[in-house]
Amino acid sequence: MAKIDFGGVVEEVVTSEEFTLEKAREVLKDEVIAVLGYGVQGPGQALNMRDNGVQVIVGQREGGASWDKAVADGFVPGETLFPLEEAARKATVIQYLLSDAGQVAMWPRIRECLSEGDALYFSHGFGVVYKDQTGIVPPENVDVILAAPKGSGTTVRTNFLDGSGINSSFAVFQDYTGRAKERTLALGIAIGSGYLFGTTFENEVYSDLTGERGVLMGCLAGVMEAQYNLLRKHGHTPSEAFNETVEELTQSLIRLVAQNGMDWMFANCSTTAQRGALDWAPKFRDAVVPVFDDLYESVRNGGETRRTLECNSAPDYREKLNAELKEIGDSEMWKAGAAVRALRPENRGK
Ligand SMILES: NC(=O)c1ccc[n+]([C@@H]2O[C@H](COP(=O)([O-])OP(=O)(O)OC[C@H]3O[C@@H](n4cnc5c(N)ncnc54)[C@H](O)[C@@H]3O)[C@@H](O)[C@H]2O)c1
Ligand SMILES: CC(C)(O)[C@@H](O)C(=O)O
Ligand SMILES: [Mg+2]
Ligand SMILES: [Mg+2]
């Protein structure tokens, strides 16, 4: 493991330079890896592993859109694509990539498909950590491991194709075979991780639930809407409000932050923007501290899990979700966004 100084704290991480793809292939050469679930993460991980030369089969409920997508991606029914339980039985590594609520629903049946020495792999600590709510308690005679890409399954695939990667965390919850760690690292490399950093199942799920509810999506959506509404309230046009809130962020500034960091961004805008942004950053930081404290507590005490499972297991889940998303899509702000996106030179006339 390479020792890297992260801002003064030294951590051990794994890169594909030290744990090479060749080594990953060697570790996995006798394994059959079943990716259960072909939704968002399933395709990214399955296709990257297949392209990296490891033996992958897919397990998916028959007949739906995800099954058809797996077929379109070259998985062959009866050869490399099977119903869930059949795939799980054929495999030595079971990548449990159903939706988290789906994992709970299917667990009593998937559990029966595990054999001694198999590896049960997750990309989230959710099922195992909140076992009192999920009922997911793996048998003692399997490895229980995790590689969790810190990005969407969509970019797990597109970054792989463009030669970059998505960083992943890894953890071993249970080492039955004595090979759990090397299996985890090999899988982490095979799915195309940029680098792998160690965590625990608990820390993975606490940080992941916080991040997606916080800065990555929930907080971001909330503050963007607040600024858009503020500008509209003061008479700015939708085009101006959207450009000043979202389009400039996604098309310009956040790309520069990705390349160079926030200090560089502060140093490379106008001195006017620089002074104001440096002054206002701590005010925004302090304003959201209580909300973040509430969020972390709700993650830690299982409240977020309860709500997720209740909503996502409801029979009318899809209709309710679609109505919620339609309301956002139909709002002035995001309709303005669609108009702005259509005006990007590369999108004109499409
Ligand atoms: N979406 C992401 O980009 C992402 C990123 C990192 C980690 N994860 C984790 O990876 C795992 C998979 O997430 P996802 O977003 O790809 O899932 P998803 O919501 O796309 O669902 C995956 C598949 O689960 C199947 N499914 C759902 N409920 C089912 C049920 N009751 N019975 C049978 N099949 C069912 C669906 O057919 C679907 O193809 C989760 O643990 C998630 O937290 C996801
Ligand atoms: C892609 C995310 C938000 O990082 C993931 O955690 C998810 O649950 O979809
Ligand atoms: Mg998540
Ligand atoms: Mg995440």
Could you report the per-residue pLDDT of 165-185, keeping only the tens digit for each? 999 999 999 999 999 999 999
pLDDT at 156 over 90: yes
Distance of CA 207 to the CA centre of its chain: 12
Mean pLDDT of the chain: 97
Q: Which fold has domain 2-200?
A: Rossmann fold (3.40.50)
**Residue 36 CB coordination number (10 Å):** 27
Compute the average pLDDT of residues 298-317: 96
Closest atom of ligand 2 to CA, residue 209:
6
- What is the C-alpha to C-alpha distance for residues 47 and 41, in angstroms, rounded to an integer? 10
In this prediction, residue 1 has a pLDDT band, given cuts at 50, 70 and 90, of: confident
- What is the C-alpha to C-alpha distance for residues 113 and 86, in angstroms, rounded to an integer? 8
How large a percentage of the chain has pLDDT more than 70?
Answer: 100
In this prediction, residue 249 has a pLDDT band, given cuts at 50, 70 and 90, of: very high
Among protein residues, the one whose CA lies closest to atom 8 of ligand 2 = 212
Q: Which amino acid is at 15?
A: T
The token duo for 338 is: 């669609």
Please, which residues bridge with residue 149 across strands? 168
Is residue 124 part of the annotated active site? The answer reads yes
To the nearest 10°, report the CA torsion of 218, 220, 222, 228.
Answer: -160
Crossing angle of helices 332-342 and 317-329, rounded to 10°: 70
Residues belonging to the binding site for substrate are 270
- What is the C-alpha to C-alpha distance for residues 87 and 33, in angstroms, rounded to an integer? 9
pLDDT at 335 over 90: yes
Compute the average pLDDT of residues 273-302: 98
Residue 61: CA count within 13 A, CB half-sphere: 11
Query: Which pLDDT score is estimated for 201?
Result: 98
If we measure between CA atoms, which residue out of 153, 122, 151 comes closest to residue 45? 153
Express each pLDDT in 189-210 by its tens digit: 999 999 999 999 999 999 999 9
CA distances from 259 to 184, 262, 263, 340 (A): 29, 9, 11, 24
How large a percentage of the chain has pLDDT more than 90?
Answer: 98
Closest atom of ligand 1 to CA, residue 154:
3
CATH 3.40.50.720 domain range(s) in the chain: 2-200
Rg (the chain; Cα; Å): 22
Compute the average pLDDT of residues 345-349: 91
Q: What angle do CA 344, 347, 349 make, to 5 degrees?
A: 120
Query: Which pLDDT score is estimated for 73?
Result: 98
Q: How far is the CA of 265 from the centre of ligand 1 (A)?
A: 36
Which residues have C-beta within 8 Å of that of residue 230, sequence separation ≥ 6? none
Query: Which pLDDT score is estimated for 350?
Result: 81
Helix (H, G, I), strand (E, B) or coil at 18: coil
> Does the beta carbon of 212 sit less than 6 angstroms from any atom of ligand 2?
yes
Compute the average pLDDT of residues 13-18: 94
Q: How far is the CA of 152 from the centre of ligand 3 (A)?
A: 9
Please, which residues bridge with residue 12 across strands? 3
Express each pLDDT in 69-119 by its tens digit: 999 999 999 999 999 999 999 999 999 999 999 999 999 999 999 999 999
